[in-house]
Structure 1
Amino acid sequence: MSIAETHCPRDMPPAVASSCNKDCRAWLFAPVDIASLVYFRILFGAIMVYHVVSTIKSGWIDQLYIRPVMHFTYPGFGWVHPWPGSGMYWHFGVMGVAATGILLGAFYRLSALVFAVGMAHVFLIEKAFYLNHYYLIVLLSGLLVFLPAHHALSVDAWLRSSLRSQVVPAWTLWLLRLQIGIPYFYGGLAKLDSDWLQGYPLGMWLKRRSDLPWVGASLAHEYAGIAFAWGGMLLDLLIVPLLLWKRTRWPALAVGVLFHLMNSVLFEIGIFPWLMIGATLLFFPPDWPRRFFLRSRLTPEAGLLQPVSPSRQNMTLGLLGVYVVWQLLFPFRGLFYTQPATWSEEGHHFAWHMMLREKDVGLRFYIRDPRSGEGGVANLRTFLTSRQLSRMSKDSDMILTFVHFLRDHFRAHGKGTLQIRVLALVSLNGRRPQLMMDPGLDYARVERTWFPQPWILPLTEPLRREPWTVPLEEWEQHVAVPSPEEMIQPAPRQVDPFFLVTPTEDATF
C-alpha cells in the first residue's frame, strides 16, 4: 500500500477512493519551489564541515576510536570496526571533503553517499557515544542522497545545464519536514513520563547551573524543574503543527529558537541546537529563501517539472511508504519491554528519548575461576575509557557486552572459562540506589538478545523529593549490598572501591 492510499479510508466507494488516490498522488508530485531544499543542503553541508573539523581538532578521534581497547557495538553490527592506524583520521578527512561537496553541490550524489556511509560507520562503531542528534544526522545524510537538492545554486547545475530546475516534487520537502518533526514529537511523547512531569532529572541539572549570571537564582528554585519540564514537553508536541499554521508560525519559531539557545547554554550539546534552529525554517513556505535573499518569486514558466512515469511514481511511493512506516513505528518498540527504558535502557536507543534520566552507578565485576577457586574484582579502567565506563555503567546491554569481552579476553590468555558476576547499584533520578541486575547470575553464560532480559530487576525505589546525595564510596554503609557466596568466595585479597560515575547531565540528544 502506498503513501497516497493511506490517506483514503478503506470503506470509500471505488470512484471516490480512486479520486482521493489521484489527488494525493498529484499533491505529492506537485511542483514546489526548490529554494528550501537548496537552503537545507547548504545549511547541512556547512554544519557538517564544521562538525568534522571540530572533531579532528578536539582530539576526539584518538579518544573515541583509536585509544579504546574494545568498542561497544550494536547487536548485529559487531563487524563494524575502526580503521587501523591513522585510518580514522583519513576517514574524517574524506567525510570533510564529502560535506564540502554537499555544501557546494559538487559531485552531489557521490558526496552525499560518501558522507552518509562514513557517518553511519562512525555511528555504529561505538554505542557508548550514542547521541540522538548523531542518529538524526545519519538519517538526514541518507535522505539527501535521494533528494535533488543540487538542481539549483550548485556546481553540478552550473556544469550541467540539463540538471537545472527551479522546482522539485512536493514529497521531497515533506519528507525532510517529517524527519525533522519526528524527533520533536516523539521526544514529547517520551516526556509523558512520571519522573519528567515531576521535574526530574531536569530540576537536578538546573540547580547545578545556579551560578549562571542573571538567571541562576531562578534555575535553583524548587519549581523551575517542573516548569521547564512541562514547557519542554508541550513545545516538543506542538511546535510542528504550530509552525505549519500560518497564524502561529512566527511565535512558534521564536519559542523554538529560544528553546534551543537555552539548551545550548545549559547543556553544551554541540551542533544539535544550531541544526534544529536552521531546520525549523523548512516548515515555512518553500519559496521563503528566494523571497528573503533574492527579493523575488518563482516565475510561472520556471515552475514546471519533467513528467514522471506512473511506474516510477509507484516505486517512489512504495519506498517512501516503507521508510515512513519504519520511522513511525520503530521508536515504539520499547512498549514490548517489561521495564521502563529509563531504568533498563531497553528500547532507549533510536526512540528519541532525550534528557529523561540521570543515573549514579556503583559497579563491580566479580571474576572467579571455578577450577581453582581463585577470584577477584576486575579493574575496569584497564579496559575502558572514562566515556565508555560512564555510559556502560548505565546500560544493561553494554554491561553484558563487556562481560563477554572479559570472558573472551581471559580465555584468549589461557585462563579458561571464568565465572563473571555483576554487582550494579543504580540511583535513578535521585532515587535511593537499588540493584539493576541479578547479582547471582554467571553473565559469562548469558547471551545478548533483542528480547526483554529477565535478569534485569524491576525498579522498586520510589522517587524522592530530595535526591539521594550520599557519596558513592559510602553507599555500602546505607544500602544493603548482597554478597552471594559465589561472588565473594574465596574472598579477594583486595576489593576495588566502586568506580565513581560523575553525573554529566545525561541529555542524550
Structure 2
Amino acid sequence: MPRPVASLLPLASRRLFATVDIASLACFRVLFGLLMFVEVWRDLPDIGPLYIEPEFHFTFFALDWVRPLAGDGMHVVFGVLGLAALCVTIGLWYRTAAAVFFVGISYVFLLEQSCYLNHIYLLALVSFLMMFVPAHRAASVDAWLRPRLRADTAPAWALWLLRAQIGIPYFYAGLAKLNPDWLRGEPMRTWLAESADLPLAGPLLREWWAPYFFSWGGLGFDLLVVPALLWRPTRALAYVLALSFHLINAAVFSIGIFPWVMIAATTIFFEPDWPRRLWNRVAARVGAPPSPAPIVAGPPAHLGRAQRATLVALGLYVGWQLLFPLRHWLYPGDVAWTEEGHKFAWRMKLRDKNGYVRFFASDPELGASWKIDLAGRLPGWQRQEMSGRPEMILQYARFLADDLRARGHAAIEVRVVALVSLNGRRPQLMIDPSVDLARVEPSLWPSLWIVHPTFDD
C-alpha cells in the first residue's frame, strides 16, 4: 500500500539532514566565486557612468536612502567585492567573504533601478545562501588552515537549497512565458530582427519560423529543464540542452555573464560526487592518487531542536521565493504594461517597450506652463529605461517637482504625456496626462494614474 502523504512528509524532512558528498558544493563554490570576480571586473569601467556621474538615481520603493558613496567610495566597494569573490573561490574566511559579497552586491544592485537585471538579483540571493551552505569544508584554504573544519560530506539540505534557488527562476521564467504575446512570437520577433546581421546565424534569424522556434523552445526548456536534470535517465541530455540554450543566448542577446552563471550553476543538479568521480578518472590516466568516496550517513531517526529550527528557516525562505513572484496577480491590468509586480518575479525578456515621455510643469500662481527639457539632466540609458516604467516616471516627476519648489515655485504641478508601444503594438497613453504626479505618493497599492489600454490584438 502506498504511504499516505502525511507519513511521507516527516521522512522527507529527515532526509534533508542525511549527508551527501561535499564535492559538488565545493565545486559550485569555486565556479561561483570565479564568475563573481569576472562580473566585478567587467563592471569596473561602468562605475563612473552608472553610479557617480548621474545627477539622479532611480531607487526602489522605500529605499531612496540607498545612495552611491562619494569620491572614490564606489571604486572601493567594487574592489572589496572583487576581493570577497576571490576569497569565496579559494575558501579563505569563506563565511565572512560570502557575507561581504552579499551585502556589497545587494548595495550596488539597489543603487539604480534603471540597471535592474534578474541575474544580479539571483547572484545576490545565491551569495546570501552561501553564507549558510558549508561549501568551505573541502578544497579550501579554511579547511587547510583548520583541519578540524574538514569534511567530505555536507547535509543534504545545503544541496537541495541551492537546487531550489536555481530551479525557481527556471520555473517562473517558463510560467511567465505562458502569455499571448510570447506564444505569437513577440517580442522575440523584434529582437531576432535586431540580430539578423550576425555571421552564419543571421539568415536563419530572419526566417518566419525563427521567432516561434525560440519562443516555444524557450518556454518548453524553462518548464522542463529542472525535472529533466533531476531525473537520472534524462540528466545528460538536459544538461546538453541547457548548455546549448545558454550559449545561444550568450551569442544572440547581450545579457552579460548570466548564461555562464547558469551553465555553472546547473551542475548543482548532478550527483553530489560528480567532481570526485571526474577527478578520479583524470587521476587514473596520469597516475595520481584517487580521492576515496566518503562515507555518507542516512537520515536521522528524529530531528533535534536545531534541525527543526533549520527546517523552519528553510521552509520560510523557499516559501517566500515561491510566493513573492506571484504578487503581480494582486494588481489589475497587464503586468507587462503596468510593471506592478514585474521585478523580482523572474519575468525575463518578456516585453519590448518603445515610446517617449514628456514632462510638463505648471505654476498656478504664475499662470504659466512649460515643457521640461531632460537633455543634460538624464543620460540616454536612464531616459530609455524610464520611458516604459510608470513607477520610474512618477519618481522622476516628484524629483522635478522638489527641484522646482526649491527654485521658488511653491505650488508647482507636474504632468506627463507618455506614449508607449508594447511588443510592437501602436503607441498608447500609459500615464493619465490630467494627473498631477507631484501630488502622488509612491505606494504598493494599484496605481490609479496608470492608463489601462485595450489591446486590439
Give the TM-score, by structure 1 length.
0.85
Corresponding position of 1:38: 26
Deviations 1:354-379 (A, max 9, x none): 11111111210011111001221111
Amino acid at match of 2:257: I
Counterparts of residues 11-30 of structure 1 (less than 5 Å): 12=6, 17=7, 20-30=8-18
Is the 8 Å Cα contact of residues 15 and 299 (structure 2) preserved in structure 1?
A: no
Q: Please tell me whether residue 455 in structure 1 is matched to residue 443 in structure 2.
A: no
Find out whether 1:282 has 2:268 as its counterpart. Answer: yes
Give the TM-score, by structure 2 length. 0.94
| Residue aligning to 1:317 | 311
Partner of residue 53 from structure 1, selected from 38, 41, 58: 41
Counterpart position of 2:362? 368
Q: 2:118 corresponds to which residue? A: 132
Matching residue of 2:296: 303
In the alignment, the residues of structure 1 paired with residue 303 and residue 200 of structure 2 have an alpha-carbon distance, to the nearest angstrom, of: 61
Shift of 1:297: 6.2
Partner residue in 1 for 2:434 = 440
Alignment match, 1:193: 179
Cα distance in 2 for partners of 1:22, 1:424 equals 55
Distance 2:49 2:356 in 1: 24
Distance 1:309 1:24 in 2: 12
Give 2:143's aligned residue: 157
Amino acid at match of 2:208: E
Q: Give aligned-pair identity as a percent.
A: 49
Q: Distance in 1 between matches of 2:134 and 2:245?
A: 31
Structure 2 residue aligned with 1:245 = 231
Change (3 A) 1:165 1:66: same
Q: For residue 469 of structure 1, what is the aligned residue in structure 2? A: none
Deviation at 1:384, TM superposition (A): 1.4
> What amino acid is aligned across from residue 115 of structure 2 in structure 1?
F
- State the distance in 1 between where 2:418 and 2:306 align: 54
Give the paired residue count: 446
Distance in structure 2 (CA, Å) of the matches to 1:81 and 1:71 = 8
Shift of 1:25: 2.8
How many angstroms apart in 2 are the aligned matches of 1:360 and 1:227? 24
Aligned AA for 1:462?
D
User: Structure 1: any 5+ residue segments left out of the alignment?
Assistant: 1-6, 464-509
Mapped partners of 2:347, 2:43: distance in 1: 24
1:442 and 1:388 map into 2 onto residues whose CA distance is 22
Q: Is the 8 A contact 1:35 1:288 kept in 2?
A: yes
Shift of 1:440: 0.7
CA–CA separation in structure 2 for the residues paired with 1:141 and 1:157 = 20
Tell me the equivalent position of 1:336: 330
- Hey, what's the Cα distance between the residues in 1 that align with 2:9 and 2:435? 57
Q: CA deviation at 1:305?
A: 9.5
Amino acid at match of 1:270: G
- Distance, in Å, in 1 between the alignment partners of 2:411 and 2:317 is 44
Q: Deviations over 1:169-202 (max 9, x none)?
A: 0010001011001111100000001001000110
- Counterpart in 1 of 2:201? 215
Say which SS state the counterpart of residue 416 (structure 2) adopts.
strand
Equivalent of 1:102, from 70, 82, 88? 88
Task: Find the aligned partners of 1:264 and 1:359 in 2 and give their Cα distance.
Answer: 22
- Aligned-pair Cα RMSD in Å: 1.7
1:418 aligns to 2:399 (yes or no): no
The Cα of 1:64 is off from its aligned counterpart by 0.8
Please point out which of 255, 258, 264 is paired with 2:244: 258
- Give the gaps of 5 or more residues in structure 2: 282-289
Per-residue CA deviations over 1:423-471 (Å, capped at 9, x if unaligned) read: 00011111011101111111111111111111111122334xxxxxxxx
- Residue from 229, 232, 240 that aligns with 2:218: 232
What SS does structure 1 have at the residue aligned with 2:375? helix
Correspondent of 2:106 among 113, 117, 120: 120
